[in-house]
């Protein structure tokens, strides 16, 4: 799968890039919502991993912008330390997957399997 990772923390991006590449995926990363939108406008992605809390524009803003782009519909995984059970339920109703930080490699792999099953 072709995956876009969006997180303002360099270490998180690095970890996700390495883990996803090890699982056989093509990975592009972005450090902000605006950078991610540029990638999305010019390329197609199967999965979008995004943090919720970022300094410039938060992940919720990015999700809204992505939903407004015609013919762009990657599976979305919100990857954040601030996911509550209620928030996870809200996202699930919208078809958005969640991955709570810190997570284990097996959890990442399981989330990707769920994305590819749809």
Rounded to an integer, what distance in angstroms lies between the CA atom of residue 115 and that of residue 95?
10
| CA angle centred on 35, ends 64 and 83, rounded to 5° | 50
Instruction: Count Cβ atoms within 10 A of the Cβ of residue 39 and give its class: 0-12 exposed, 13-18 middle, 19 or more buried.
Output: middle
DSSP letter string over 55-81? Answer: SSS-HHHHHHHHHTSTT---EEEEEET
For residue 57, what pLDDT is reported? 74
Pick the closest to residue 23 from 40, 43, 2, 8 (CA basis).
2
Task: For CA atoms 80, 86, 90, 95, give the dihedral sign.
Answer: positive
Asked whether residue 118 carries a pLDDT value surpassing 70, the answer given is no
Q: Give the chain's mean pLDDT.
A: 91
User: Where does the pLDDT of residue 26 fall: very low under 50, low under 70, confident under 90, or very high at 90 and above?
Assistant: very high
Asked whether residue 58 carries a pLDDT value surpassing 80, the answer given is no
Q: What domains appear along the chain, each with residue ranges and CATH number?
A: 2-111 (3.40.50.2300)
């Amino acid at each position: 799968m072709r995956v876009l990772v969006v997180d303002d923390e360099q270490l998180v991006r690095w970890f996700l890039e390495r883990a996803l590449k090890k699982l056989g995926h093509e990975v592009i990363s972005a450090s902000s919502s605006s950078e991610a939108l540029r990638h999305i406008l010019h390329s197609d992605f199967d999965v979008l991993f995004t943090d919720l809390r970022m300094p410039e524009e938060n992940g919720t803003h990015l999700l809204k912008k992505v939903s407004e782009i015609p013919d762009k519909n990657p599976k979305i995984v919100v990857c954040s330390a601030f996911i509550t059970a209620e928030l996870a339920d809200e996202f699930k109703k919208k078809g958005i997957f969640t991955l709570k930080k810190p997570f284990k490699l097996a959890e990442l792999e399981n989330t990707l399997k769920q994305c590819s099953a749809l």
